């Protein structure tokens, strides 16, 4: 089997020697260039599997060379080398297509890991990058989203996934992982808002036995559990400021220190993060660190809300009805024309997750040949309330808020009909059986 070929571009003799010796010991053949001009000549004549380049070169900027390689050699993994403290430059390079970055002085363990990851990406056959069967929809916004995912899956760059609750941010993260060279390793997802604050550091970085009361054994953290794979930080806006500082260091230095540990440990994970909150606004309010925001937001993906992709609703309904029918051993479950029209008119504050819940409820309660608009139990007050100034998502979960609106709408209808359930069901456009189900679920039976 032929050896891997690496191009090293730097004008510092000690760095060149260090990189060359390290890669040669990894059984990688190296070719040296000390400036952009000689590097471009070598790239035209010879095929390489990996490139390591300094950002400051005698005859130009390494970023310009990187941009040129993205046009002529888009699949060549490029690791950029920057001076200590030049994180902004490294982030800029990653945004322009670099695989990852190293800071001087070079940590040999981190270097070997990065080179191994880059070669793995270089030699891995092209993966199936079509994700239409996972991220459903043929609307323009969904086609654009899938196209962006296909491109960013080839790099190590941190990705910030922004979108409303219920749009499928974790599903997007899983597709990125599946299409990357890390697909054989772990995908670890954590909801940052679900971890008690006093346990966060231990959960993320692990702890040593005896480091605090109750630490009876060593424990590995999420970073170590995701070694070689992907760590997905959902609801990253909920991280307290004290942990944000330590997370920033872990991402920048690729090292962690377990609670009670004496030494730092190298970690190799790709960070994906998401939140339904406005992270940029939280930065302005001093609730989220600006430096961490820029570090996790190297690439931003926006997952569209369901009301922005109305044309996808029919396909999504077909998918969910097939899934629900299979789970309940049913056949022939269909939506009527008026039901589909009603769904396309609806605002969907809960997005795709809400659509699935609506269909699951309708399948359980419908009593005809097809699911009708009445069987969907869509409550118009929901859309109106969400557009009003009274809705504050910070005060509680969207699900609880929607439940309160539904409870109020049904209570108002009962009062107008002097608590006559038959008349109330008729006014709300639902069957008596459906109303009885809602009353029980919302605790209004009495």
CATH number at residue 24: 3.40.50.2300
Task: Tell me how far apart the alpha carbons of residues 373 and 379 are, in angstroms, rounded to a whole number.
Answer: 11
Same domain as 329, residue 188: no
pLDDT of residue 85: 60
Q: Is residue 131 part of a domain?
A: no
Q: Is residue 157 part of a domain?
A: yes
> DSSP readout, 10-76?
-S-HHHHHHHHHHHHHTTEEEEEESSHHHHHHHHHHS--SEEEEESEETTEEHHHHHHHHHHH-TTS
Q: Is residue 243 part of a domain?
A: yes
Q: Is residue 129 part of a domain?
A: no
Low-confidence ranges of the chain (pLDDT < 50): 128, 381-391, 393-396
Same domain as 258, residue 193: yes
Same domain as 409, residue 277: no
Is residue 355 within 8 Å of 317, Cβ to Cβ? yes
State how many domains the chain has. Answer: 3
Alpha-carbon distance values, 142 to 132, 154, 168, 302, 308 (Å): 9, 19, 12, 10, 10
Write down the pTM of the prediction.
0.73
Same domain as 357, residue 260: no
Q: Is residue 128 part of a domain?
A: no
Listed residues 123, 150, 169: the one ending a domain: 123
Nearest to 277 by CA among 166, 141, 382, 394: 394
Please state whether the peptide bond connecting residue 159 to the residue before it is cis, i.e. omega within 30 degrees of 0: no
Same domain as 172, residue 295: yes
Same domain as 338, residue 258: no
Same domain as 177, residue 92: no
Task: Tell me how far apart the alpha carbons of residues 156 and 284 are, in angstroms, rounded to a whole number.
Answer: 28
pLDDT of residue 322: 92
Query: Domain range holding 374?
Result: 306-441
Same domain as 274, residue 313: no
Angle in degrees, CA 400, 393, 396, rounded to 5: 40
Same domain as 188, residue 62: no
Same domain as 186, residue 60: no
Q: Is residue 245 part of a domain?
A: yes
Structure tokens at 171: 């599903």
Cα four-point dihedral sign 238, 244, 247, 251 = positive
Taking only the tens place, the pLDDT of each residue in 419-445 is 888 888 877 777 777 787 778 777 777
Same domain as 274, residue 175: yes
* Nearby residues of 42 by Cβ (< 8 Å), 6 or more positions away: 7, 31, 33
Listed residues 302, 337, 359: the one ending a domain: 302
Residue with tokens 């974790």: 170
pLDDT of residue 394: 44
Same domain as 290, residue 159: yes
- Indicate which CATH number applies to the domain containing 191: 3.40.50.300
Q: Is residue 274 part of a domain?
A: yes
Residue with tokens 């690791």: 79
Is residue 420 within 8 Å of 392, Cβ to Cβ? no
Alpha-carbon distance values, 34 to 16, 50, 59 (Å): 9, 16, 9
- Indicate which CATH number applies to the domain containing 362: 1.10.8.60
């Amino acid at each position: 089997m032929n050896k891997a070929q690496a191009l090293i571009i730097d004008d510092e003799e000690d760095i060149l020697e260090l990189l060359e010796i390290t890669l040669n010991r990894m059984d990688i053949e190296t070719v040296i260039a000390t400036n952009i001009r000689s590097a471009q000549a070598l790239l035209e004549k010879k095929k390489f599997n990996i490139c390591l380049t300094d950002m400051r070169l005698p005859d130009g900027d390494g970023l310009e060379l990187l941009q040129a390689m993205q046009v002529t050699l888009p699949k060549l993994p490029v690791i950029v080398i920057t001076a200590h403290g030049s994180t902004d430059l490294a982030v800029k390079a990653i945004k322009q297509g670099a695989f990852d970055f190293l800071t001087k002085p070079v940590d040999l363990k981190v270097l070997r890991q990065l080179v191994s990851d880059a070669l793995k990406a270089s030699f891995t056959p092209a993966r199936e990058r079509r994700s239409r069967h996972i991220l459903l929809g043929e609307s323009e916004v969904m086609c654009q989203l899938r196209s962006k995912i296909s491109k960013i899956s080839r790099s190590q760059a941190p990705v910030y996934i922004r979108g409303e609750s219920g749009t499928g941010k974790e599903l997007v993260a899983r597709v990125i992982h599946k299409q990357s060279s890390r697909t054989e390793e772990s995908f670890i997802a954590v909801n940052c808002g679900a971890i008690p604050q006093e346990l966060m550091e231990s959960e993320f970085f692990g702890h040593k036995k005896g480091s605090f009361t109750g630490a009876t054994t060593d424990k590995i953290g999420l970073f170590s559990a995701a070694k070689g794979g992907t760590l997905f930080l959902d609801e990253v806006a909920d991280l307290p400021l004290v942990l944000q500082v330590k997370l920033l260091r872990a991402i920048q230095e690729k090292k962690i220190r377990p609670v009670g540990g004496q030494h730092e440990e190298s970690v190799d994970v790709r960070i994906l993060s998401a939140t339904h909150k406005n992270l940029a606004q939280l930065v302005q309010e001093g609730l989220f660190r600006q430096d961490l925001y820029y570090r996790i937001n190297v690439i931003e993906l926006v997952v569209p809300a369901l009301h922005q992709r109305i044309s996808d609703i029919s396909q999504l309904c077909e998918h969910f009805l097939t899934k629900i029918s299979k789970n309940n051993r049913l056949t022939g479950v269909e939506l009527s024309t008026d039901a589909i029209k009603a769904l396309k008119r609806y605002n969907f504050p809960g997005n795709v997750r809400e659509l699935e819940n609506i269909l699951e409820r309708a399948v359980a309660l419908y009593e005809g040949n097809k699911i009708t608009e009445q069987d969907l139990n869509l409550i118009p007050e929901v859309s109106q309330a969400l557009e009003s100034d009274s809705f504050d998502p910070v005060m509680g979960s969207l699900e609880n808020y929607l439940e309160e609106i539904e409870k109020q709408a049904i209570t108002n209808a009962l009062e107008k009909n002097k608590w006559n359930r038959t008349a109330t069901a008729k006014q709300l456009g639902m069957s008596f059986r459906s109303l009885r189900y809602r009353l029980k679920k919302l605790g209004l039976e009495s």
